Amino acid sequence: MELKAIKVEIPEGCNIILGQTHFIKTAEDLYEILATHIPHAKFAIAFTEASGPCLIRSEGNDEELRQICIKNLQNIGAGHVFCILMKGAFPISVLNAIKMCQEVCNIYCATANPLEVIVAETELGRGILGVIDGFSPKGVEKEEDRQHRKEFLRKINYKL
């Protein structure tokens, strides 16, 4: 078995949701969730099959994001993985709906941070072991940091 760290492309101003799923209708079901929860946003979805023709299926309302989703999944190379890129919306707006999608098994991350995917490769194929999401902690929150956090949440209208 070989372990690899795969860098994932996240365009400026975008968020990514990476997860595991298991059925051919995933791309269309996730498209419907995104279109109904964040209709104002630009987004794309790609999904890798793990049997039959083993194709990367994709949908979206933004061609550039769709191509980057496909490229990310080609680089990861694992079956039954989905990649969502969104611009103009945050994952918090869709995450619970995505988790409730019948064929979604697992969410690895939802982030705008630099991202690496840890992949194991065997004779059978590749699988995701986990992700490196952003950077290691640099300290503990102080009162000034706490105040900044609260102000930020109000600035983006997530708190009153």
61 Cβ neighbours under 8 A, 6+ residues apart: 35, 42, 43, 44
Average pLDDT, integer, range 63-87: 98
- Determine the pLDDT at residue 64: 98
Domain count within the chain = 1
pLDDT band for position 66 (50/70/90)? very high
Give buried/exposed letters for 65-102 (b at 16+ CB in 10 A, else e): bbebbbebbeebbbbbbbbbbbbebebeebeebbeebe
CA dihedral sign, ordered 37, 39, 40, 41: positive
Query: What is the residue range of 99's domain?
Result: 2-156
CATH classification of the domain holding 91: 3.40.1520.10
* Strand, coil or helix: 142: coil
Each residue's pLDDT tens digit, 87-133: 999 999 999 999 999 999 999 999 999 999 999 999 999 999 999 99
Q: What is the mean pLDDT of the chain?
A: 96
What is the value of pTM for the model shown? 0.94
Compute the radius of gyration of the chain from its Cα atoms: 17
Statement: residue 52 has pLDDT above 90: yes
Average pLDDT, integer, range 27-52: 97
Q: Which residue has the tokens 């941070």?
A: 113
- Determine the pLDDT at residue 142: 96
Statement: residue 159 has pLDDT above 90: no
